[in-house]
Structure formats: C-alpha cells, structure tokens
Structure 1
Amino acid sequence: MNSGLSLVIAIPVGSAVFAGAVTYAVTDRNLKMRTRVAASLLSAFLVGATSLFVLYLSVFAFLVTMVGYLVMRRLFKPGLALAGSAVVLCGGLSFAVMLMVAALDRM
C-alpha cells in the first residue's frame, strides 16, 4: 500500500475516532448511556465523512462545537445543549465544505 492511499484512509478514520472519543468523554455525566453512544457515533460519522472532502477543517469545526457544548450545558438542560451543539456541528461542517468548494473554484 502506498503512502498516499494510507494517508487518505488514516485521516478520516483518525478524525472519526477522535470525534467519537471526545464526544463520549465530554458527555459523560449529563446524558444516559444510549444517548451518549448515539451522539458519539453520529459525531464520529459526520466528522469522518466530512474529512474525506475537507481534511482538517472538520476537526476544527468539531472542536468549536465541543467548546460550544461545554458552555451551553452550563446554561441549558443537557438535551437542549446537545441539540444546539448538533446544529452548530452541522453548520460548521457545512461551512467547511463550502469554504473548500470556494477555494477549489478559484484555483
């Protein structure tokens, strides 16, 4: 296996594992186990799928979302904070993809 192909495989897998592990760790005491696992799997899937197109911006959008979640869970109930952070994550990932499309369009 050449190094280019292994890099194309390693970046999305690493991004997905990172996103899932951080989501699982951050939501430890606030949510039920089923909700924690579902949130972790969903964030891992979204960040991993987006990192196929936008290598590192998806991880940055995820980190911004986690900071937002940590702030929102102090202000609101955990379920509302999770829903708000899901909206922020989708918006951040969409913005990252649109930024890459604009960058590639101008080349």
Structure 2
Amino acid sequence: METIIAMILATTALSGGTTYAVTRRDLEGGARVAVALACALLVGGACVFVPWLPLFAFLGTVVVYLLVRRLLTAKLALAASGAVLLGGCSFTVLLMMAALETM
C-alpha cells in the first residue's frame, strides 16, 4: 500500500515540477503555479486508476508542447497541450478499463 501511495505522490510531484519548469518562461505569476497544479492534479488523479501510464502521457504532452510552442504562441501551445494531456490521461484510463474487462 505504501508503494502505491509513494508512486502516486512521485508522479504528481514530477508532473507538477516539470510543468512549472517548462512553462516558466511562457507564463507569469500565479498562472505558472495554477497550470502546474492543474497538471499535477490531473496526472496524479489518473495515476490513482492507472499506475504509471499517465506519466508517459504527460511526457508525450511535454514534447508536444515544446514542439508546438515554436510554431504558435505560448498560450495556443498551452491550450493544445492541455487537450493532448486530457486525451492522453483519458486514453490510459480507458485502456486499463479494457484490459481489466478482458481478464
């Protein structure tokens, strides 16, 4: 049980910290903290249902954000990566549901 709690906390902290570091240049003040907190809660919440897979969806989202940020404005890149993260976390939960259904 402690391992699961530690995994959820580590994933939440890693996603929040990485988000804060990546968006530090593009956002100002409280927006940086709000975006990092929202991302950490989404990834951590998804990790309650699916261990580790939302972290991979998050890392893919970071790559998408860094690529799209070069093409679009920072706010549009943030909106696009938010949609990708929401879709990725939803996909991981649906994937786990399908896997458990076939067991």
Q: Give me the TM-score of the superposition, normalised by structure 2.
A: 0.97
Q: 1:76 aligns with which of 48, 54, 72?
A: 72
**CA distance in structure 2 between the partners assigned to 1:42 and 1:26 by the alignment:** 14
Q: 2:19 aligns with which of 16, 19, 23?
A: 23
Identity of aligned residues (%): 49
Higher gyration radius (CA): 1
Q: 2:51 aligns with which of 38, 51, 55?
A: 55
Matched letter for residue 43 of structure 2: V
Who is 1:92 aligned against?
A: 88
Q: Which runs of 5+ in 1 are unaligned?
A: none
Q: Which runs of 5+ in 2 are unaligned?
A: none
Aligned residues: 103
| TM-aligned CA deviation for residue 33 of structure 1 | 2.1
**CA distance in structure 2 between the partners assigned to 1:26 and 1:7 by the alignment:** 28
**1:30 aligned counterpart, secondary structure:** coil
> Following TM superposition, where does structure 1 have runs of at least 4 consecutive aligned residues deviating by more than 6 angstroms?
none
Could you give the per-residue CA deviations for residues 54-105 of structure 1, whole angstroms, max 9, x where no partner exists?
1010000000000000011101111111111000000000000000000000
